[in-house]
């Protein structure tokens, strides 16, 4: 798996990144990422802080298997930024799965600052894409995966089974 590369040409500076709520469909307790750090045509970085009131958090903190959701939400943020840049409204997408999700820790302790980086590896006209992802905790990379996602042209028709 290729590690996500640093962003080369941000679409917008950090102070101009849109709020997460404007580019990610997740809301309330289901939204795990707090802030977009940067984004360009092929990559995105986001920040999240593990809080004791979040879903899934237990005495050990946020279970490491939730790292895949942090990655998926950062991919959603990247897709939302791309849609906005094209003058479109961000649309829903679907996490299909991952290859080789590995975490060096069992949990992300409460108070940890997480930095999630995603880099587009491949994308098809059919809405299927694959991203190389990493998750760093307090500045140290602790998880990595290749994540596959699907963003249908017409999400409502897809959900209703009218699009294949």
pLDDT digits (tens, 9 = 90+) for 71-88: 999 999 999 999 988 888
Tokens 């995603």 identify what position? 118
CATH code at position 61: 3.10.129.10
Q: Does 86 fall in a domain? A: yes
- Domain range for 55: 14-159
Q: Global pTM?
A: 0.86
Give domain status of residue 144, yes or no.
yes
Query: Does residue 6 fall inside a structural domain?
Result: no
1 inside domain: no
As for how many domains the chain has, the answer is 1
Q: Which tens digits make up the pLDDT trace of 77-134? A: 999 999 988 888 888 889 999 989 999 999 999 999 999 999 999 999 888 999 999 9
In a domain, 8, yes or no: no
Is 82 domain-assigned? Answer: yes
pLDDT tens-digit map of 27-55: 788 899 999 999 999 999 999 999 999 99
CA neighbor of 137 nearest in space, from 116, 118, 113, 117: 113
Residue 132 counted as domain residue: yes
Q: DSSP secondary structure string, 74-128?
A: HHHHHHHHHHHHTT------EEEEEEEEEESSSEE-TT-EEEEEEEEEEE-TTSE
- 107 lies in some domain: yes
């Amino acid at each position: 798996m290729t590690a996500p590369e640093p962003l080369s040409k941000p679409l917008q500076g950090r102070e101009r990144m849109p709020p997460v709520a404007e580019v990610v469909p997740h809301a309330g307790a289901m939204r795990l990422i707090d802030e977009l750090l940067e984004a360009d045509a092929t990559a995105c970085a986001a920040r999240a802080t593990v809080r004791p009131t979040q879903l899934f958090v237990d005495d050990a903190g946020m279970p490491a298997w939730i790292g895949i959701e942090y990655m998926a939400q950062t991919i959603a943020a990247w897709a939302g930024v791309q849609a906005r840049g094209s003058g479109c409204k961000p649309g829903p997408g679907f996490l299909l799965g991952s290859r080789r999700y590995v975490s060096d820790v069992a949990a992300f302790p409460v108070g940890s600052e997480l930095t999630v980086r995603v880099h587009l590896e491949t994308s098809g006209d059919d809405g299927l894409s694959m991203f190389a992802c990493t998750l760093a905790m307090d500045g140290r990379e602790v998880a990595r995966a290749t994540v596959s996602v699907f963003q249908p042209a017409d999400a409502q028709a897809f959900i209703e089974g009218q699009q294949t």
